[in-house]
Chain A
Amino acid sequence: MPTLTIDGQPITVSKGTTVIQAAEALGIYIPRYCYHPGLSIAGSCRMCLVEIEKAPRLEVACYSQAADGMVVHTITENVRLARRSVLEFLLSNHPLDCPVCDQSGECDLQNYYMEFGLYQSRFLENKIKRRKAYPIGPHVMLDNERCILCSRCVRFCDEVSKSHELGIVNRGERSEIALYEGRELNNAYSGNVIDICPVGALTERDFRFQCRVWYLNRTASICPGCARGCNIEIHYNVLRPYQSKGKRILRIKPRFNPAVNKWWICDEGRYGFRHIDASNRLRECEAQTADGVIPLGMETALKTAAAWIGESIEQHGKDSVGFFLSPELSNEDLYAILKLARHLGISKIDFRNPGEHPGFEDNFLIRGDKNPNRRGCVELGLYHRQRENGGWMAEEIKQGTLRMLVAFLQDLSLEPEFKAALVSLKRLIFVGSNSNATSEQAGLVLPSATYAEKNGSFTNFQGRAQRFERALVPLGDSLPENELIARIAAHFRMPEQPFEREQLLLDLRAEFPFFDQSTLDPPDVELAYQTTIAQREHA
């Protein structure tokens, strides 16, 4: 365990720790381009040069290992000069694209220039011209002129996605990032190269020219795309909707969590936000009448829902009503539903897990189970009731014993047995964010908020209950499921308090020790994709 001193502060670190890591532990941020904690060390950009006493020259902090008694200075005149000169070299052939570059505002050339550059350009030569702005895959654009050859993207494709699409061809100043002709950057994780590119060389096709990054709001969230529950950040633009043609969410970025997804997310997750502002979003309550579908006000709709449930219980008993849940619901939503069901004495609750027929899966992040909270359903005790994916409910509907169903989110008609059964159902209430065949069959539709529009937590396959925060106002009249439930419960004289966010969580943890013991990941706002800003804010 070597003890070293960095800028006058002593620190003891484990053997093998590099100076850049030790400095970070002290809250000292050393600028870098090629270094990325998730990749091998290249040591080539030379931005992280620091002064180490007794060393004959400046050393790169990313590669120098902490040694006992080592004395490091990260800001000296020599270090400033070296960083400034590295910047000057990088900028010498860098185009003046900032006004039209998507990276502006989160560009480490700009950031470091403001800190270490600020010189009058002494480069009188013609800049080298290179190929600009061309797609290299479904999600990524490459601009060779902007590239500073830090090789992060190449190392990502070699070491993380292991797909080996990228290389650096040619030699010296003619070196360029390239793909073999006819090949594409189309691996399942390709979008990450955009995040780790410290400059505007790799930009997002989807995000291109959509919004200046300084207009973006950022909220910590959890990807609902599969059981991994990658920690993400939602970047959205609510103040200037005209800039992005009304699109609220503009991009998803990974958020660092060493235990879950490290710095990365898959492309499925990165672009899996379209349903939030899709045209099939349910914006208001609807009722099926003889005259067709008519919109309802929220109060009327909730009253109707409560009345239907009450009538059914009264006339046909508690067992005539069932709740059909979804592993896409948050722990809090599920628990709220459970509370209401208990209050009403409803015991027919189950969920269907479409992900039980696993989709694509790999040995990195992507899970075959495409639901974010199957583990939550299991831990809430919903799983043991489950018989063949809720198929028993279809059976009971056909037999007429189950007369009314409150179905959440999913399209039950995708399941052949349900498709046949739904027509025999006397009453169907659908709660969900987007319309589907089931919502179209429902007598009453209650619009619910998407994960980006509510607070809550998902329990991932590892058993980590991970909290996510509301980024957007729910669209139209939609409300988070637990609020809808709370307001229906009010019609059954249940107090509001047990449904309030903090109380819900407290009760949940009290009743189910699993949630008390499991790692409840707080949504910290550390940006995984851009260590610069994060480190600065921390420092």
Chain B
Amino acid sequence: MSLETLSDQLLAEISEILAKHPQRRPALLPILHACQRRNGYISPEIERAVAELLGIPVIDVREIITFYTLLLPKPVGKHHLQFCTNLSCHLQGAEESVAAACRRLGIEEGETTADRRFTVTTVECLGACDMAPAMQVNDDYYANMTSDRVNELLDKLS
């Protein structure tokens, strides 16, 4: 039914993951990661396709996606700016850099720009307190994010 939702490349990647896991259910997180890397987020279609593929109830997949914050049920911008606002980053003024990013992009925290290039979210501790205020853009960590450095970064990414 919904397996056609998954591209051939993705299906190949999924079979590779399944080959590494003797049991199916433990492959769920790696498969969802793979789906998200290819599609940017996990759509309901993908959700259902993965449930069917692994032979698990689709509500279980929904539980997983809504439990783990890195799994995205909705699309985000091309550059996903995730500002750490936990204690060490807060002490170094993380909120200022969040505000700077929002001001510059004309969006609120949690929103995506109209051109779908940027999303700004605040996140909990990234394990980068030595880089405080720290942020993550897609897979990359950035250190010492003052307002100026946020603007510089946005210049580079724009």
Contacts and interface: CB of A to CB of B under 8 A. Distances in A.
| A–B contact via C-beta, under 8 angstroms | yes
Interface of A: 164-171, 178-181, 183
A178 B59 CA distance: 8
B44 A167 contact: no
Contacts of B62: 167, 169, 178, 180
Interface string B52-74: 00000111101100110100000
B86 to A, nearest CB: 16
B66 A170 contact: yes
Contacts of B67: 169-171
Contact of A183 (B59, B60, B63, B69): B59
Interface of B: 44, 57-60, 62-63, 66-67, 69
Given A170-B66, A170-B67, A171-B67, A179 B44 contact: no
B44 A164 contact: no
A164 B57 contact: yes
A168 to B, nearest CB: 6
Given A166-B59, A168-B63, 5 more contacts: A164-B59, A169-B62, A170-B66, A183-B58, A183-B59
A179 B59 contact: yes
B44 A169 contact: no
Contacts of B69: 171
A464 B62 CA distance: 44
Nearest to B48: A180
11 contacts: A164-B60, A165-B59, A167-B59, A167-B63, A169-B63, A169-B66, A170-B66, A170-B67, A178-B62, A179-B59, A181-B44
B66 A180 contact: no
A180 B64 CA distance: 13
B56 to A, nearest CB: 8
Nearest to A171: B67
Contacts of B60: 164, 167
Nearest to B57: A164
Nearest to B59: A167
Contacts of A183: 58-59
A168 B65 CA distance: 11
A178 B57 CA distance: 13
Nearest to A174: B66
Contacts of A170: 66-67
B29 to A, nearest CB: 15
Nearest to B67: A171
Contacts of B66: 169-171
Contacts of A166: 59
A249 B4 CA distance: 51
A165 B63 CA distance: 12
Contacts of B57: 164-165, 167
A183 B57 CA distance: 11
A294 to B, nearest CB: 60
A180 B69 CA distance: 19
A164 B63 CA distance: 12
Contacts of A164: 57, 59-60
A166 B57 CA distance: 9
Contacts of A180: 58-59, 62
Contacts of A181: 44
B69 to A, nearest CB: 8
A183 B62 CA distance: 13
